Amino acid sequence: DAKTTQPNSMESNEEEPVHLPCNHSTISGTDYIHWYRQLPSQGPEYVIHGLTSNVNNRMASLAIAEDRKSSTLILHRATLRDAAVYYCILPGTSYDKVIFGPGTSLSVIP
């Protein structure tokens, strides 16, 4: 599976938008980009995924660069409950050996 690079930590003010970047320069043409997040003391949970087009769901938006070498998870209005570690992963064609890196630890300031 291709590797991803994310900043170790980011900070945001409550009620402001947050843009969490992910670099995946070795992505292959068929790799979907998945985002998961892990709230304190919980297991990771699915957030969003996409291939080429930007994607929206009730939790977040995913903006994918035209060359697909990077993507950005967008939380439109950060809340205190969004404080978590966010993981960007590329499972490839299977989850057999998916790699979760250290992720980005997001702090939300009231």
Binding site for other proteins (CB under 8 A): 32, 34, 36, 41-46, 49, 51, 87, 91-103
Closest Cα partner for 38 from 82, 99, 98, 3?
82
Smallest distance from other proteins to CB 110, Å: 26
Whichever of 8 and 110 has its CB closer to other proteins, that residue is 8
Whole-angstrom Cα distance, residue 72 to residue 108?
Answer: 18
Number of Cβ within a 10 Å radius of residue 94: 8
List CB contacts of 50: < 8 A, sequence separation 6 or more: 32, 33, 62, 64, 71
Q: Tell me if 40 sits within 8 A of 81, measured CB to CB.
A: no
Smallest distance from other proteins to CB 30, Å: 9
Whichever of 43 and 110 has its CB closer to other proteins, that residue is 43
Smallest distance from other proteins to CB 104, Å: 11
Whichever of 17 and 101 has its CB closer to other proteins, that residue is 101
Whichever of 67 and 94 has its CB closer to other proteins, that residue is 94
Which amino acid type is present at position 87? Y
Smallest distance from other proteins to CB 14, Å: 26
